[in-house]
Structure 1
Amino acid sequence: MKKFIIYWFRNDLRLDDNPALNHACGLAERNGAELLTVFCHTPAYSALNSCQTKWGFARISSHRRKFLRDSLNDLRYQLHQHGFDLLELDGELSAQTELWTYIYRHYELQTIVCEEIAAPEEMAQVESLHALKLPVHTLLQSTMYAPEDFDFELVSMPDQFTAFRHKVEQGAYSIRQPATCALSNNFVLSDPGLLAFSVQMQSKEEACVEHPEQDNRSSFPYWTVEFSGGSQAALRYLESYFSTDKAHSYKQTRNQLHGTGFSTKFSPWLASGAMSAPQILAALRKFEDEQGKSDGSYWIWFELLWRDYFRFLHCKYGVQLYRASGLSKSPVSLPAFDAQKFQAWTQSKSGEPLIDAAMRELATTGYLSNRLRQQVVSYWLHELGGDWRVAAAWFESQLLDYDVYSNQGNCLYLAGLGTDPRGYLGGRWFDPQKQTKQHDADGAYRRLWNTI
């Protein structure tokens, strides 16, 4: 019976700088095993599955599905260059169970290797494999900094971001160095019985494929070659970005509302794992070596550190971040869901032109500037008196760059239920009138999205 190792792609849809994949390759080489690369869809992915939140809307939009499909097609193409195929599994548990049964029958499965994702649903996915007596080895690999290099345990990390940042800066900890892909044609598996599982998934998808409308107003036009899903486009874009001086002006432009050039636009590729934080840092350091350091280049690192921070907070607090009261030490009474207010908010009928323009852009394109994300969540919390969890779920549904760590962390922070010492709704209010005057004084953004 053949020895068998599975590499399970999750939010790491790339070959280069993928330590977990390289670990799987090393295990296969040392043990004379064959390697199978797998991606498991969630039930929310398929348009045939009406997976919804408890508030009645789909968990994943057509924009997100399309960007993921392009990312997977790109990953499959690159795997083909190494003699591999990508086995895509349907999100239904029954379909995945059939695969494990097939593997048990035909192979000696040594281990499943995958990225560690320290969020409840993603951890439950791993636990479901353990429950089937399958060996799983996970590696945390989505951060700039390796927690094992810190001189403190994550359970004792500072709760406030500023204190965490100072500790990291003063500690001068090393940043992960990007690693090259270790895939080798020595590990090739072409079992028709296994590949049939992927054919079934593709056939199901083709029967329900959606083609979201392309809108040229988008700040991230993912249907174009430049902004398409997958690591090939991501790395081309990364090189292109740092061939300009945009990094120097990033701090000054990052709060703008619209356009492809005001912010780095790395986030959709980071979220899917088509691009890694160490790859960005390597490009940033090279830019600084050649062009000099600036407030703008520092701020790119600063924003990526926020990303690390939210990941490490999940390692520290885990499921507590998903409680209705978040990290609050006192019980919090959240408002009941008001469907009428929710419809007004999501369908751009609130009557506040800037908010309505932002929500129209989000629904139409799957993207929204960071400044506007904060404003629309603040509006939902303060003006409409909404439940912060609804905002988090809506962003999960809509955003091309949805990232479970950052989404949960940011929404908790704005609600005052994360690590902000001001408490529930204690001070993260964005006055819509003031924000409009500061960021859209000439009305250009509102006119673009037809709200004035």
Structure 2
Amino acid sequence: MRRSIVWFKTDLRLHDNETLIKAIAQSDEIIPVYCFDDSQFETTEFGFKKTGNFRAQFLLESIIDLDKNLRSIGSGLLIVKGKPEVEIPKIVQEYKVSKVFAKREVSYEEKQKEARVQEELFKLKCELKTFSTSTLYHAEDLPFSIKDIPDVFTNFRKKTEKDSFIRVSFEEPKELKSPDIESLKLPTLEELGLDFQPIDSRAVLPFKGGETEAIARLNHYFFETKCISEYKETRNGLVGADYSSKFSAWLALGCISPRFIHDELKKYEKQFGANDSTYWLVFELLWRDYFRFMMKKYNAKFFQQAGIQSKGIPVNKHNTSQLQEWIDGETGVDFVDANMIELKLTGFMSNRGRQNVASYLCNDLKLDWRYGAAYFEHQLIDYDVCSNWGNWAYLAGVGNDPRGNRYFNIEKQASDYDKDKKYRNLWLKS
């Protein structure tokens, strides 16, 4: 009996999941596993819990949905809590597993964890097989090696679009053979050291986790409303559900894959026509790929104050009260405050808002940018390690921005993007 584990991490879906498809092809039985990793709920050196209330709630919803979808094809999800390098080998021994299939990691802590798991599995004569499942373009199909990827996004994009291709998505499995898996037993938010926090009713969207919700959102944004055809014009919006796709939350946990989005976009373009807006979504997915490949190239550097540029930037002595005012939306700069209050009460903020509040923290307050990145990690429903730290380093002038020191004139930004103060009035009213 060839028995394998599929270790789900940030790939909580059945569609376009190479890890799952390869495991099925090489096994007689599959045990799908999700590990609540203790380290994801610890407090970081910056004073924030890695995973906050909104992120955890979205994660729990996504896992419930994955379990439901797995059960519909004959399986289920086995839940463990602790350190993956301890918990995964326990299941390997209990079920006499010969292979563990998992998503391949690229960022520093995740890679270290992967290596520790591999080390423990090796002792049990069990193989760890990893697959790249997070990007639109597969790393192996890029027109350059990882170490030679251009540090400027435009150069990366042009050459990739010209000389590479997007692979076809994997079909969703119709059946999964598993031993009996007990009904889902999730830790409560309390057991994770967190509280339930309802999303404020002013939120752009009542985000709910899971593959089912992700696909429903895609169908809404593409086929039901055709909002995608105006995406380029509306993407800098601040109020309402449909100024942008909002796919980022589901992409972050892998409830939907970039290739699946691309496949559906091609169907949409065939039916309703392609334009700058439909292309712009692919452009944004390319940014996401880019930060993932950059993380692979530079590894731990993205988490250091000097970033990948290794240059000093003027930073004030750490000021706890200034940081707290920024978090609470009490800086006195109305556009910054409105955005920070939205983030605090909903776990989400527009792209326009993120750039402004990051510029304010780095350039006006001159605080260490990593505190901002760590707070976003804690608070954002759509936190993605590569995009978050890559974008913050970019804004702080220590990342991939060829211009360096990108300063936002916040007053001008507010009058350009919130002319009638609709957004500020929404969030600044008590």
Tell me, yes or no, if structure 1 residue 21 matches structure 2 residue 20.
yes
Distance 2:244 2:158 in 1: 24
* CA-CA distance at 1:336 after TM superposition: 3.1
The residue that corresponds to 1:240 in the other structure is 220
Residue number among 156, 159, 179 corresponding to 1:189 in the alignment: 179
TM-score (norm 2): 0.93
Distance 2:85 2:147 in 1: 34
Tell me, yes or no, if structure 1 residue 367 matches structure 2 residue 348.
yes
Tell me, yes or no, if structure 1 residue 77 matches structure 2 residue 68.
yes
* Deviation readout 1:28-61 (Å, 9 max, x if unpaired): 0xxx4x2111111232556xxxx21223232222
Mind listing any 5+ residue stretches in structure 2 that lack a counterpart?
none
- Please tell me the residue identity of whatever aligns with 2:61: D
* Deviation readout 1:134-157 (Å, 9 max, x if unpaired): 431111111111122233212112
Tell me, yes or no, if structure 1 residue 213 matches structure 2 residue 219.
no
**1:256–1:262 CA contact under 8 A, matched in 2:** yes
**2:57–2:189 CA contact under 8 A, matched in 1:** no
**2:315–2:366 CA contact under 8 A, matched in 1:** no
- Please tell me the residue identity of whatever aligns with 2:44: T
- The count of corresponding residues between Structure 1 and Structure 2 is 425
- Please tell me the residue identity of whatever aligns with 1:5: S
The residue that corresponds to 2:36 in the other structure is 41
Distance 2:87 2:297 in 1: 35
Tell me the SS of whatever aligns to 2:37.
Answer: coil
Residue number among 429, 435, 439 corresponding to 2:417 in the alignment: 439
Tell me the SS of whatever aligns to 1:417.
Answer: coil
The residue that corresponds to 1:155 in the other structure is 147
Output the aligned Cα RMSD: 2.2
Distance 2:192 2:231 in 1: 43
**2:89–2:121 CA contact under 8 A, matched in 1:** no
The residue that corresponds to 2:138 in the other structure is 146
- Equivalence map 1:18-167=2 (5 Å): 18-28=17-27, 32=28, 34-43=29-38, 51-90=42-81, 92-93=82-83, 97=86, 100-101=89-90, 103-104=92-93, 106-134=94-122, 135-167=127-159
The residue that corresponds to 1:449 in the other structure is 427
Larger mean CA deviation between 285-294 and 327-336 belongs to 327-336
**1:58–1:397 CA contact under 8 A, matched in 2:** yes
Distance 1:133 1:396 in 2: 30
* CA-CA distance at 1:205 after TM superposition: 5.6
Percent identity between the aligned chains? 36
**1:354–1:451 CA contact under 8 A, matched in 2:** no
The residue that corresponds to 1:430 in the other structure is 408
Moved segments of 4+, more than 4 Å: 203-209, 331-334
Distance 2:355 2:228 in 1: 23
- Equivalence map 1:272-283=2 (5 Å): 272-283=253-264
* CA-CA distance at 1:249 after TM superposition: 1.0
Tell me the SS of whatever aligns to 1:151.
Answer: coil
* CA-CA distance at 1:84 after TM superposition: 1.2
Distance 1:229 1:78 in 2: 13
Distance 2:24 2:280 in 1: 36
Distance 1:418 1:344 in 2: 26
**2:307–2:399 CA contact under 8 A, matched in 1:** yes
Distance 2:37 2:121 in 1: 21
Relative distance call for 1:207 and 1:436 in structure 2 (3 A) is closer
Distance 2:175 2:132 in 1: 23
TM-score (norm 1): 0.89
Tell me the SS of whatever aligns to 2:26.
Answer: helix
Distance 2:263 2:429 in 1: 42
Distance 1:167 1:314 in 2: 19
- Please tell me the residue identity of whatever aligns with 1:39: Y
Distance 1:23 1:328 in 2: 39
Distance 2:9 2:103 in 1: 7
Distance 1:203 1:446 in 2: 35
Distance 2:162 2:204 in 1: 36
* CA-CA distance at 1:220 after TM superposition: 2.1
* CA-CA distance at 1:204 after TM superposition: 8.2
The residue that corresponds to 1:380 in the other structure is 361
Distance 1:353 1:442 in 2: 13
Tell me the SS of whatever aligns to 1:280.
Answer: helix
- Equivalence map 1:176-325=2 (5 Å): 176-182=167-173, 184-185=175-176, 187-190=177-180, 195=182, 199=185, 202=187, 210-222=195-207, 228-243=208-223, 244-325=225-306
- Please tell me the residue identity of whatever aligns with 2:17: N
* Deviation readout 1:380-416 (Å, 9 max, x if unpaired): 1111111111111111111110011110110011011
Distance 2:75 2:190 in 1: 21
**2:56–2:189 CA contact under 8 A, matched in 1:** no
- Equivalence map 1:335-346=2 (5 Å): 335-346=316-327
Distance 1:347 1:314 in 2: 30
* Deviation readout 1:296-324 (Å, 9 max, x if unpaired): 11111111110111111122222222222
* CA-CA distance at 1:449 after TM superposition: 0.8
**1:44–1:58 CA contact under 8 A, matched in 2:** no
Relative distance call for 1:335 and 1:189 in structure 2 (3 A) is farther
* Deviation readout 1:235-258 (Å, 9 max, x if unpaired): 122122211331121111100111
* Deviation readout 1:44-87 (Å, 9 max, x if unpaired): 556xxxx2122323222211111111100000001111221211
Distance 2:150 2:109 in 1: 25
